[in-house]
Amino acid sequence: MFFRSFKIFIFIFIIIVLPVLVTGCKWDLSKKTFSSKNEEIKKELMELVKKEYKYNVKVEIINKTIGVYFPLSNLLEDDKAEEKKLNKEVAEKIDHVIFLTHRVALSSDNNLDFYVIKTVDMENGNELSVVGYFYDVYRARLANISKGEFSQRLLKGLNKNDKIINDWEGKNFKMNEIFLPDFLATQIAQRIKIATTKKKDETEKNNFFSFVFEDKKLKEKFEAKEIQWALKDKIFTFVLEIPDYQEENVQEIFNLILKTTADVLYAYDFDYSATRILIKNKTENKKIFFINKKDLELFRNRKIKIEELID
């Protein structure tokens, strides 16, 4: 069994991308206007970005994942500020790159599954990653999912990488292939993290990682500091570190975890057999629960109560 540590870096990002991503796409997906060959797709996307917006990007494709390396300056308004705010002009540029990535990928016969957009600051090594699933783009365009739901399905992260400083050509651009199980597990962890992250003040209401489905009362009771996950033999395992864990909050904690897990796995019709959840504080394991798929589906459909699952 393997585990991957999950940490979300909180920073401000005024959401201007979704109207473009969801409703601004005007091309006809029934017309395959771009190549199906990887090398040609890479060339076409780089040339299109250069032609329409004068940006220089590097594009890589690994099997069913396309990655875009987008170097620029001034990614954040203030790199030294505790709360990281994305530069508004940069946000618009990221819009453009994501939009054209959708356009090229969905208008080709390559049947790509995932995209990774890495926007990197050449001056200080800040690296913003956005990972999306083309299946979600299709559904958003068809209005099968809302803008808010589409936003929650995007994976976002802010990291520091000194190797990329002044790397305008993307020589140190490294991209991993994205697989559906990892994408779903990360999405579940991200949703739980967002739902329990305590905000310092009202200025964070436009947080890039914040959405309309937050529970402010829940945030006051506990916070998931770190989330790890694994998938083996069709069993999803989640390990959550909750330093302020209190026994009286156990139902609310597991209600959030199970609801999030059930909703995401159902939304993608993912084949799994059970979910194992372990809650710990900094020093010891507190609770371990094992829920099979049948019971989780009953819970999702409100045919079984949380008390019956965790007793």
> Each residue of 2-34: pLDDT tens digit?
344 334 333 433 333 444 444 444 445 445 555
Name the domain count of the chain. Answer: 2
Q: How far apart are CA 176 and CA 237, in angstroms?
A: 22
- End-of-domain residue from the set 118, 148, 178: 178
Q: Answer yes or no: is 38 within a domain.
A: yes
Q: Are residues 172 and 205 in the same domain?
A: no
Mean pLDDT throughout 236-258?
88
Query: Is the Cβ–Cβ distance between 15 and 151 less than 8 Å?
Result: yes
Q: Are residues 136 and 33 in the same domain?
A: yes
Task: Give the C-alpha distances (Å, rounded to integers) separating 262 from 200, 228, 299.
Answer: 30, 17, 8
Tell me what pLDDT residue 4 has.
Answer: 42
Higher pLDDT pick, 83 / 39: 39
How do residues 271-309 score in pLDDT, each as one tens digit? 999 999 999 887 777 788 999 999 999 999 999 999 898
Q: What is the mean pLDDT of the chain?
A: 83
Tell me what pLDDT residue 202 has.
Answer: 40
Tell me what pLDDT residue 204 has.
Answer: 42
Q: Are residues 41 and 116 in the same domain?
A: yes
Q: Answer yes or no: is 303 within a domain.
A: yes
Q: Are residues 16 and 149 in the same domain?
A: yes
Pair type for strands 65-72 and 58-62: antiparallel
Q: How far apart are CA 13 and CA 308, in angstroms?
A: 40
Q: Answer yes or no: is 301 within a domain.
A: yes
Q: Are residues 121 and 166 in the same domain?
A: yes
How do residues 253-267 score in pLDDT, each as one tens digit? 889 999 999 999 999
Q: Answer yes or no: is 280 within a domain.
A: yes
Q: How far apart are CA 90 and CA 176, in angstroms?
A: 24
Q: Are residues 227 and 282 in the same domain?
A: yes
Residue 166, Ramachandran bin (φ over 0: left; ψ between -120 and 50: alpha; else beta): left
Task: Give the C-alpha distances (Å, rounded to integers) separating 59 from 74, 133, 281.
Answer: 21, 17, 42
Give pTM, 2 decimals: 0.84
Q: Answer yes or no: is 3 within a domain.
A: no
Q: Are residues 154 and 227 in the same domain?
A: no
Q: Answer yes or no: is 1 within a domain.
A: no
- End-of-domain residue from the set 155, 178, 201: 178
Q: Which residues contact 260 (CB under 8 A, 6 or more apart)?
A: 188, 191, 192, 195
Q: Are residues 159 and 292 in the same domain?
A: no
Q: Are residues 171 and 135 in the same domain?
A: yes
Q: How far apart are CA 229 and CA 311, in angstroms?
A: 23
Mean pLDDT throughout 108-112?
89
Q: Are residues 71 and 131 in the same domain?
A: yes
Six token digits for residue 209: 């990682």
Tell me what pLDDT residue 237 has.
Answer: 95
Q: Are residues 148 and 36 in the same domain?
A: yes
In which domain, by residue range, is 39 found? 8-178
Q: Answer yes or no: is 2 within a domain.
A: no
pLDDT-based confidence at residue 217 (cuts at 50, 70, 90): low
Q: Are residues 115 and 200 in the same domain?
A: no
Tell me what pLDDT residue 25 has.
Answer: 46
- End-of-domain residue from the set 123, 147, 178: 178
Query: Is the Cβ–Cβ distance between 57 and 68 less than 8 Å?
Result: yes
Six token digits for residue 113: 């599954």
Mean pLDDT throughout 137-145?
94
Tell me what pLDDT residue 286 has.
Answer: 77
Cα R_g (the chain), whole angstroms:
20
